[in-house]
Chain A
Amino acid sequence: MSSMTFGRAINAGLRKAMENDPKVVLMGEDIGKLGGVFRITDGLQKDFGEHRVMDSPLAEAGIMGTAIGMAYRGYRPVVEIQFDGFIYPAFDQIVCQVAKLHYRTQGKVKVPLTIRVPFGGGIGSPEHHSESPEAYFTHTSGLRVVSVSNPQDAYTVIQQAIASDDPVLYFEPKRRYHVKGEVNEDIDLGAESMGSARVVTEGSDVTLVTYGPLVPTARDAAVAASDDGVSVEVIDLRSLAPIDFATVEASVRKTGRLVITHEAAQSGGLGAEIAASITERCFYYLEHAPVRITGFDIPYPYSKLEFHHLPDLDRILDGVDRVMGRTNSLSSLEG
């Protein structure tokens, strides 16, 4: 075990994957000498050379399309999209090509591509640097979508994503890059599926489902709730497509109450999918309608207002109060 930051853990995972498989190549803007604007690929070009860690022209569709071409020739490209809000020029190549080539060719062409996306807000940046676009991709068949919340998962899941024969979008909560944690670098990658959710904190009254940047916030909320006599079970989804509904369902059958929180806008988001799926699967176990605590249906706001948009501990606790039938901000509406 060694202690490292979230960002360093991704770097270590990339390094391990590159050591294990000469077909793993990295592409992206500024990822070479600079090591990326977040330094996630720091030192990799120096150690693996310019043919395996490629600085690319500033064109996201170009990055994605050429990565597909490399995959055609047996490579496993890992591409970095510099910021969440810069992924849209590559949207066509991701949705029409990356996602569909395997189906189109009856499984003949595999696209074992990993798309790394620093995502989410809370870092005081201007527009396009704080978005949570995951639902666009979870809605697209053929893609696997994951998000990680701690250094160990960051290290493990990036390697699982690269090893996957399916394309994977790997969403990195950039505001947690500096968080430190213990990482077992000798972990058995096959021990736990990339698609499995993890129960972070066990509880019996409310199931609180989240992923990525809000996992630490949810954990804090569970501690605060327990001081108030409410036992909250926190689930870190890790995989957003597909979602491990078996784990969520088992929890909700126990607690009877579901709160979902994510930074992304509410309508048509993952929270809606989770609420609908869990309601379908265990309607008779529910004591209260599922509640979503999410970002608003707005373009990502300027930074002075971003903390109104981002779910925080108190808003999550307000949601917990709602499903518990306690006095909450909407009590007057529920009359």
Chain B
Amino acid sequence: MSPAQDEDFVQLLTPSGARTSGEYDRWVEDVDDNVLMSLYEDMVVVRRIDAEATALQRQGELALWPPLLGQEASQIGSARALRTDDFVFSSYREHGVAYCRGVDLTDMTRVWRGNASSGWDPFEINMATPQVIIGAQTLHAVGYGMAIINDGDDAAAITYFGDGATSQGDVNEAMVFAASYQAPVIFFCQNNQWAISEPVGLQAHVPIARRAPGFGIPSVRVDGNDVLATLAVTREALERARTGGGPTYIEALTYRMGPHTTADDPTKYRDANELEDWAAKDPIARLAAYLEERGLFTEDFKASVKAKADDVAREMRAGCVNMAEPETMDVFKNVYSSPNSWLDRQQDHYARYLATIDDTAADAEGTK
């Protein structure tokens, strides 16, 4: 059995939507019907965002999109546990986390349309620009956590990364630093079973969560398709971080139902049966079943969630296709925070060059 199939993990909702009970119940005691319904809505909305963005890519409006399909519960459950003053250092697939942090819907597509290198101002939502270099952001989260200690604050940093990233030196160094300084950091690993075409077995011979105790960091495996369970384990980790207990490592077992990005073709490397197996553990369907059992999954509720998702998708699409184009000379902006003689000269020369082209065009216009 590969580490991916080892189902020794925290689970509060079974794939069929049955509520189990155990030691983690206390972390979700306050989750009432309204919260359950809002968790459902968030998951449906981000799945819709994902589908809309994928469509935008197919229609040529986005250059690329890394879908989160299948990982909704990992992202919504963990992100909903956070406080506004906590800080997120994520990878590039955490659209669900970004949604929970309140990212403007137009900003969600800005990077993928090629209109900016960062969709948003990190300090407006306390979420760093999603990181492209695999695992690099884990160190930033730890440094941020070290600064929290220096400030005597009770905020926390959370970093999201995948199973592939766990092979990176940066992630391992981040665990060393986090343990040494007892930084208030949550390592949230979404083990989605695939690093592009490489199965998790190529990254790890034992469950990935087992590595953390070797660094002196407590770890927990959680059913990443169970939004209640991911909420519970993240709350526990945050509590530890806020009370001086240091870092926690969470391995959320989930599945990347879609391609790595819209440029990828998973049929070349994985079995369709695997997809079917995971479809049966779908995070949204199981919460729907639980809501149904509680008499909450009414036609009105379903209609209101659908309307919300449609509105969000419509707004995101409109923001995307109507996005203002960047100004030409923006290419030189913000490399440095103060004037730089090398770059200023290049900018000046390029402006002169562009002016000659404009003149040539104007001359050509004049001779017609």
Contacts A108-B123, A195-B341, A245-B341 hold; do A69 and B143 have CB atoms under 8 A apart?
Answer: yes
B123-137 interface with A by 8 A CB criterion: 123, 128-129, 133, 136
A304 contacts partner chain B, Cβ-Cβ < 8 Å: no
A303 contacts partner chain B, Cβ-Cβ < 8 Å: no
Interface centre among A66, A89, A106, A245 (most CB of B within 10 A): A66
Contact B122 A72 (CB under 8 A): yes
Contact A61 B170 (CB under 8 A): yes
B177 contacts partner chain A, Cβ-Cβ < 8 Å: yes
Contact B136 A166 (CB under 8 A): no
B64 contacts partner chain A, Cβ-Cβ < 8 Å: no
A65 contacts partner chain B, Cβ-Cβ < 8 Å: yes
Contact B337 A110 (CB under 8 A): yes
A87 to chain B, nearest CB (A): 15
Please indicate the chain B residues that have their CB under 8 angstroms from the CB of A73 in the complex: 87, 143-144, 147-148, 151
Q: How far is the CA of A216 from the CA of B343 in the complex (A)?
A: 30
The residue that A69 contacts in the complex, of B145, B169, B335, with Cβ under 8 A, is B145
B207 to chain A, nearest CB (A): 24
The residue that B136 contacts in the complex, of A59, A65, A75, A105, with Cβ under 8 A, is A65
Contact A72 B143 (CB under 8 A): yes
Complex interface: stretch among A95-103, A151-159, A174-182, A220-228: A95-103
Q: Mark B179-201, 1 if CB is under 8 A from A, else 0.
A: 01100000000000000000000
Contact B139 A61 (CB under 8 A): yes
Contact A103 B173 (CB under 8 A): no
Contact B173 A65 (CB under 8 A): yes
The residue that B142 contacts in the complex, of A65, A103, A110, with Cβ under 8 A, is A65
A236-270 interface with B by 8 A CB criterion: 241-246
Contact B150 A97 (CB under 8 A): no
A120-166 interface with B by 8 A CB criterion: 141-142, 144, 164-166
A74 to chain B, nearest CB (A): 7
B146 to chain A, nearest CB (A): 6
Please indicate the chain B residues that have their CB under 8 angstroms from the CB of A97 in the complex: 133, 136, 140
B20 contacts partner chain A, Cβ-Cβ < 8 Å: no
The residue that A103 contacts in the complex, of B117, B149, B151, with Cβ under 8 A, is B117
Q: Which residue of B lies closest to A68 (CB)?
A: B140
B6 contacts partner chain A, Cβ-Cβ < 8 Å: no
The residue that B176 contacts in the complex, of A59, A74, A92, with Cβ under 8 A, is A59
Q: Which residue of A lies closest to B141 (CB)?
A: A69
Please indicate the chain B residues that have their CB under 8 angstroms from the CB of A52 in the complex: 150
Q: How far is the CA of A243 from the CA of B105 in the complex (A)?
A: 43
Q: How far is the CA of A19 from the CA of B174 in the complex (A)?
A: 30
B118 contacts partner chain A, Cβ-Cβ < 8 Å: yes
Contact A68 B334 (CB under 8 A): no
Q: Which residue of B lies closest to A56 (CB)?
A: B177
Contacts A57-B177, A59-B173 hold; do A96 and B334 have CB atoms under 8 A apart?
Answer: no
Q: How far is the CA of A182 from the CA of B226 in the complex (A)?
A: 68
Q: How far is the CA of A165 from the CA of B336 in the complex (A)?
A: 8
B121 contacts partner chain A, Cβ-Cβ < 8 Å: yes
Contact A68 B336 (CB under 8 A): no
Contact A166 B336 (CB under 8 A): yes
Contact B147 A69 (CB under 8 A): yes
Contact B143 A65 (CB under 8 A): yes
Contact B341 A66 (CB under 8 A): no
Please indicate the chain A residues that have their CB under 8 angstroms from the CB of B341 in the complex: 195, 242, 244-246
Please indicate the chain B residues that have their CB under 8 angstroms from the CB of A141 in the complex: 335, 343
Please indicate the chain B residues that have their CB under 8 angstroms from the CB of A195 in the complex: 341
Please indicate the chain B residues that have their CB under 8 angstroms from the CB of A104 in the complex: 117-118, 129
A16 to chain B, nearest CB (A): 20
Q: How far is the CA of A144 from the CA of B142 in the complex (A)?
A: 25
Please indicate the chain A residues that have their CB under 8 angstroms from the CB of B333 in the complex: 106-107
A100 to chain B, nearest CB (A): 8
A210 to chain B, nearest CB (A): 19
Please indicate the chain A residues that have their CB under 8 angstroms from the CB of B340 in the complex: 144, 242
B144 to chain A, nearest CB (A): 4
A160 to chain B, nearest CB (A): 11
Please indicate the chain A residues that have their CB under 8 angstroms from the CB of B116 in the complex: 106
Please indicate the chain B residues that have their CB under 8 angstroms from the CB of A244 in the complex: 341
B97-130 interface with A by 8 A CB criterion: 116-118, 121-123, 128-129
Please indicate the chain A residues that have their CB under 8 angstroms from the CB of B157 in the complex: 69
Contact B121 A105 (CB under 8 A): yes
Contact B118 A75 (CB under 8 A): no
Interface centre among A25, A54, A105 (most CB of B within 10 A): A105
Please indicate the chain B residues that have their CB under 8 angstroms from the CB of A275 in the complex: none
A67-88 interface with B by 8 A CB criterion: 67-75
B342 contacts partner chain A, Cβ-Cβ < 8 Å: yes
The residue that A106 contacts in the complex, of B138, B174, B176, B334, with Cβ under 8 A, is B334
Q: How far is the CA of A61 from the CA of B139 in the complex (A)?
A: 8
B343 to chain A, nearest CB (A): 8
Please indicate the chain B residues that have their CB under 8 angstroms from the CB of A59 in the complex: 173, 176-177
A286 contacts partner chain B, Cβ-Cβ < 8 Å: no
Please indicate the chain A residues that have their CB under 8 angstroms from the CB of B328 in the complex: none
Q: How far is the CA of A51 from the CA of B142 in the complex (A)?
A: 15
Please indicate the chain B residues that have their CB under 8 angstroms from the CB of A242 in the complex: 340-343
B322 contacts partner chain A, Cβ-Cβ < 8 Å: no
Please indicate the chain B residues that have their CB under 8 angstroms from the CB of A110 in the complex: 337
The residue that B143 contacts in the complex, of A70, A101, A102, A165, with Cβ under 8 A, is A70
Please indicate the chain A residues that have their CB under 8 angstroms from the CB of B122 in the complex: 72, 105, 108-109
Contact A93 B147 (CB under 8 A): no
Q: What are 29 A-B pairs with beta-carbon distances under 8 A?
A: A52-B150, A56-B177, A62-B139, A62-B173, A62-B176, A65-B143, A66-B142, A67-B143, A69-B140, A69-B141, A69-B157, A70-B147, A72-B128, A72-B144, A73-B147, A73-B148, A75-B147, A92-B170, A105-B118, A106-B117, A106-B118, A109-B129, A141-B335, A144-B336, A165-B338, A195-B341, A241-B342, A242-B340, A242-B342
Give chain B's interface residues, CB within 8 Å of chain A: 87, 89, 116-118, 121-123, 128-129, 133, 136, 138-151, 157, 169-170, 173-174, 176-177, 180-181, 333-338, 340-343
Q: A65-B142, A66-B177, A243-B342 are in contact. List 16 more A-B contacts (CB 8 A).
A: A25-B150, A57-B180, A62-B173, A69-B141, A69-B157, A70-B147, A71-B143, A73-B144, A89-B169, A92-B136, A96-B136, A97-B136, A102-B334, A102-B335, A106-B116, A108-B122
